[in-house]
Structure 1
């Protein structure tokens, strides 16, 4: 199993400059765990216990309230990791993580990671770079929530999910309207209305499993 973890660590862009011998040392202390689709891997407020390295599958980080409202912070797949914040500051988990599809993770215990980082400061800088990028992403999300209207936030979310092809842009894995509402912080009904308006305006078309964006979405609606 350590070989699988080692490959997972090597696939993380932020660890590209860390020596393979150092990564192998960390991988040898990890355990593998599988999670079914829709299972909760980490709950907000839990005590930090391990670093999770995604070997396969996809997860989402989110915040939720007592009345069931949810805000999605990010989604991650292979080549990424999560759970490092609580390990570094000793505080409870700051967000929940759930599996969007069957997911396999490699778990590195907290005491192992802390000792490893002391012995390999170059790896510590790699994690700092990762945290810096996540802070920048969260800053952009806050900017959107504070300075953009609902349509502007929806247009940005669709743009961020889409990849360009010969006919325009496509979102391969169609999110539900509730997913989009959770990402941009509004009601599902508002998303449904705006998506229907964009479809009527021939800006996009919605297929069974994908969304095709035919031309640049307007700046305002």
Structure 2
């Protein structure tokens, strides 16, 4: 449990337009956090595993300990669109458990995942014992909704190049590993997924990525992406410099 708590300081939930958000686990009191980690049972998932599936009953929630997951939702045409990324210390599947409704999105492991699976009855007992946790969950949901609404406004205000630079800068900051003079983005995203994140067509993302690469701002090797000039990337995304 101590090891899981330490991990929360390193990685947390990620929504477009949100920088360094507090993870759910880190927002709890030490007593509540310890009990939450003691109930349920541990599960491991390999990359690509469907952890929760859109439309299925909300019979459990999951507390992510390590790794990251992709949150996708089906479009009207049947294709899945990437809408968010969650990582160590965060909850997934909580609203379906609390509201008793089918799951609104699919959760897929982006890498090897360690998680705590907590059944609905155990969740209800925990919330009855620690009612303040309901407030933390409500705040989490409100923050996610606020970020989603804010990003919808960005869709109409900024061109693809700006939106892409902004997302890559935030991915590097929230899910990046500094290696020498550059930052490796530790989230494996396809160009189609990047396009879904910024509300654009894949071809437009390809062109914007090529421009960033030619400018020496990012380096792309297969599906591995590194940020070479973070301050330049943030400026292109109309974001303030790091540390401000």
Q: Is the structural similarity TM-score above 0.5?
A: yes
Instruction: Between 32-41 and 120-129, report the one with greater CA deviation.
Output: 120-129
Secondary structure of 1:210's aligned partner: strand
Structure 2: 5+ residue stretches without partners: 9-21, 239-244
* Cα distance in 2 for residues equivalent to 1:31 and 1:191: 41
- Decide which structure has the larger Cα Rg and report it: 1
Give me the TM-score of the superposition, normalised by structure 2.
0.75
Q: Say whether residues 1:55 and 2:65 are aligned partners.
A: yes
- 1:74 is aligned to 84
- 2:241 is aligned to none
Deviations 1:123-148 (A, max 9, x none): 22222222222122212222223433
Deviations 1:140-189 (A, max 9, x none): 22222343333332222122223397998734336432231121222222
* Counterparts in 2 of 1:71 and 1:17: CA distance versus 1, 3 Å: closer
* Aligned positions of 1:1-221 closer than 5 A: 3=1, 7-8=4-5, 11=8, 13-16=23-26, 18-65=28-75, 67-163=77-173, 170-173=183-186, 175-200=189-214, 202=215, 204-208=217-221, 209-214=224-229, 215=232, 216-217=235-236
* Cα distance in 1 for residues equivalent to 2:196 and 2:181: 26
Give me the TM-score of the superposition, normalised by structure 1.
0.81
Deviations 1:31-81 (A, max 9, x none): 111111111111111110111001122101111236453321111111111
Give the paired residue count: 215
Superposed CA RMSD in Å reads: 3.0
